[in-house]
A and B are shown apart, each in its own frame.
Chain A
Amino acid sequence: MTFQITGEVPERLGDENPLGYSSYITGVQMPKPQIDFSIDPHESYDAPLSGVFRENLGYTHQGLSEIISIYEVGSFRVQAPIKPHFPPKTQEKIKKLMRRPLKPSEMVSLIDEICIISADFYKIKSRKHIAVKIDGTVVESADSEIDLLLKIQGRQFGVPVFVYEVGADSSPGWST
């Protein structure tokens, strides 16, 4: 099953085309470009999330229009920049964190939600260590945690950065 968005370039350059793009070259009619954004929902990040997990995160219904934000540029409909989209409850926690400190338990659940969704979204292999910004962007990855910390040591991100081992909720004890 694919989700398709098809856009067409207007035939004439006019007011309805604010981008200023034209397929006209003097005297020559160029073929209309057909833009096809094909998105397979089974490949998107929400596929591994079970129904119960989605309900706990605050999803009301499952729909691609909720997950993939689409905006229009002129007469084109394009997909938003690739970044994980968080469920409403997580977004509320992030807004709350910007206003005042969270309780440790809330912070732990926020870190888990952001890192799990981000690792799922970018399809990162298990046992990889990743550094994730609070908006879900993965800024660095490495095979071991100390390598990751040395890579990001000295870099300023402006927002909190989380360190997470993909596939592990925490590290209780010595890992072999």
Chain B
Amino acid sequence: MSRELNDKDYENKALFVRVRGIVQNLRDMRQVPFNFKCRVDTGFDDGVTAPQWFRSDVEIIGVQPALKTRTLANGERVPVYVCAAYIHQIDSCVFPLPGLPVKMVMLGNVERSLLGMDSLKYCTLILDGSNQKFSMIFN
């Protein structure tokens, strides 16, 4: 199990990683998996975003997402649904169970997820802009 992601290439001048994990009902241990291609965004406060339709998947296992207000990049404040999720894998980096606990925000309708600072706090992110490569080293 590797805990490092070395010299991964940029895609379209941005950092993209494949994130796998679960949302778990901590009462009866039912869970729903997710698998998103996420853009690494250091300006995003929460852990990971999911599209709005993922809320129905979460509610099927008995998890009631909470409502919260969030400020978008354009300054607009919107209500969003949040819940807790566990990240099991980021690209080739695999984490021991139960995984990394992060905040999941359900926002938007397209599958264009973000990986924010709540997830990045577990790792050291090294950016090599001149060579268009980046590395993630998890503690």
**What residues make up the interface of A, taking CB atoms closer than 8 Å to B?**
104-105, 107-108, 111-112, 131, 145-146, 149-150, 152-157, 160-164, 169-175
Contact = CB atoms under 8 A, between A and B. Distances in A.
Interface string B77-116: 1110011100000000000000001110000000000000
Contacts of B101: 146, 150
B78 A104 contact: yes
B117 interface: yes
B132 interface: no
A150 B67 CA distance: 15
Indicate the size class of the contact surface on chain B: 20 to 34
Interface string B35-48: 00000001101010
B52 interface: no
Contacts of B102: 146
Q: Count chain A CB atoms within 10 A of each CB in B62, B66, B71 and give the residue with the most.
A: B66
Nearest to B73: A172
State the main secondary structure of chain A at its contact with B: mixed
B27 interface: yes
A157 B84 CA distance: 17
A149 B79 contact: no
11 contacts: A104-B79, A107-B67, A146-B101, A152-B66, A153-B24, A155-B64, A157-B64, A160-B67, A161-B64, A173-B45, A174-B117
Nearest to A157: B64
Contacts of B69: 108, 111-112, 169-170
A166 B17 CA distance: 34
B67 A175 contact: no
Given A149-B84, A154-B27, A162 B77 contact: no
B25 interface: yes
Nearest to A102: B79
B63 A171 contact: no
B1 interface: no
A146 B45 CA distance: 12
A4 B68 CA distance: 39
B82 A163 contact: yes
A111 B80 CA distance: 11
